[in-house]
Chain A
Amino acid sequence: MTDIVEYVPLVRELHERAAKLKQPVNGVFELTSLCNLRCGMCYVRQSGGDKAPGVRKELSASQWLEIAGQARENGLIFLLLTGGEVLLRNDFFEIYEPLTRMGFMITVFTNGALITDSIADRLARCPPSRVEISLYGATSATCEKITGVPGSFAACRAGIENLLARRIPLVLKSTLSRFNVAELEAMRQMAHGWGVPFYASWLLSRRPDKQGSEVEDYRLSAEECVELEATDRASANELREAALSEKVPDSDSNFYCKAGRAAFIVNPYGDLNVCSLLPEPAARPLEIGFHNAWMEVVKYVDSAPAPSPECLGCRDRVFCGRCPAWSLMESGTLSGPVPYWCEIARARKKRYGRPADPSPIE
């Protein structure tokens, strides 16, 4: 009657099941947009701080717990706490500790630099299922060139070691840019040395709030992205299979992930949105109730327009990872082509072979 099953396939199966039922099983609470680091490619951080003109007031601890309670009643299980830097909130544990008694599988994203002995002790008393820490380099020079904060490399390392000393489940990751890609292997070795899993990502998006971003200075070229993903066997196999299948995706649906069907995000100001990169429909769970706000998100996704005819007819579509969020950030509509993704799709086709046929345009 109790089954121990492989975790990743189980989580995938639960998300599939939830998506069919429109159960919001996966939620992100973006607790703050403030950060102690100043990474130029970040899509969240408010550079002016919380006192800057025009910056909205972030939710209080009790408001977060109110949303969490209602979300649980609606089926939330997998909860990610992220920022900004969550540990910048003085009331972080007033939010976190009650959440750990509510029946969620909690993941915490942090840059690690604020994880002192006392913070690690407190986390260890009611640990999350996983902490994920971002590495920005394998050396202080590279890391701090990106973070803009002297001492952040050593602080991050100390934070990692504080968690490991308390057996708190940890995953390390890196956001790669042209400034740190040369240290990818060294970062992987750092993680290996600590005995923790490591993964890297490199698709840098613009800021969804349309504020200025230096992302163009940080992005890798399409060819570099494809070269990187080819080193990952699972990604390479998937793309090779796609190249051989000669089939375009079955669905013309614009949204193809779990966002708006099983997943949502609440931003620091209490707006319930589709995902971190798509700050719409900005439903207000504290005003209309979580269930009604979630239904607004579901309706938003269900009524989204199809991809543009240009995308539907594209011969490289099978290699493309464009989604409505990227379209909105880069083209201003939910459907338009994203030039960066067009380049990546072309580079993938060149690497993996035969192009797929376009689907007929209805």
Chain B
Amino acid sequence: MKRKDELMLQKVGGQALLIPLGAKVLDMNGMVVLNTTGSFIWELLAEERSFEELVSAVVERFAVEADRAGDDVRTFLDDLIRQGWIAL
């Protein structure tokens, strides 16, 4: 999976935001606030990634157990899929 080019990550201090691009503005009507893990995964999704790759990267970056990282990544990806922001 890989993120679509319809949103751009911007930062104010440490706060990460997803800003809609082009026609996506009408669907979003605002912007999305990402937490640190979400922002980290979003940046990884610039390239084609598997679920396992993302979980592994989260485990390494945040020093969490694989089960918990797997749950977090799954929750986040479900959000992105529901919104149509990633290509599977």
Contacts and interface: CB of A to CB of B under 8 A. Distances in A.
A103 B21 contact: yes
A20 B19 CA distance: 22
18 contacts: A1-B38, A2-B32, A2-B83, A5-B33, A10-B31, A17-B12, A21-B12, A21-B13, A25-B12, A101-B22, A102-B8, A103-B10, A124-B23, A126-B21, A129-B30, A168-B26, A169-B25, A169-B29
A2 B26 contact: no
Contact of A75 (B11, B34, B35): B11
Interface in B18-70: 18-19, 21-23, 25-26, 29-35, 37-38, 41
4 nearest CB pairs, A to B: A1-B38, A103-B8, A1-B76, A3-B33
Contacts of B38: 1-2
A127 B10 contact: no
Given A1-B38, A1-B41, A77-B12, A103 B33 contact: no
| Interface size band for A | 20 to 34
A1 B37 contact: yes
A354 B31 CA distance: 43
B87 to A, nearest CB: 17
A100 B35 contact: no
A167 interface: yes
A17 B22 CA distance: 27
Contacts of A17: 12-13, 15
| Interface size band for B | 20 to 34
| Secondary structure dominating the interface of B | mixed
Interface in A74-91: 75, 77
Contacts of B26: 127, 167-169
Interface of B: 8-13, 15, 17-19, 21-23, 25-26, 29-35, 37-38, 41, 72, 75-76, 79-80, 83
B13 A125 contact: no
A267 interface: no
A128 interface: yes
Nearest to B7: A103
B32 A4 contact: yes
A14 B15 contact: yes
Contacts of B35: 1, 3
Nearest to A166: B26
Contacts of A100: 21-22, 25
B29 to A, nearest CB: 7
Contacts of A169: 25-26, 29
Given A21-B13, A128-B25, A169-B29, A77 B19 contact: yes
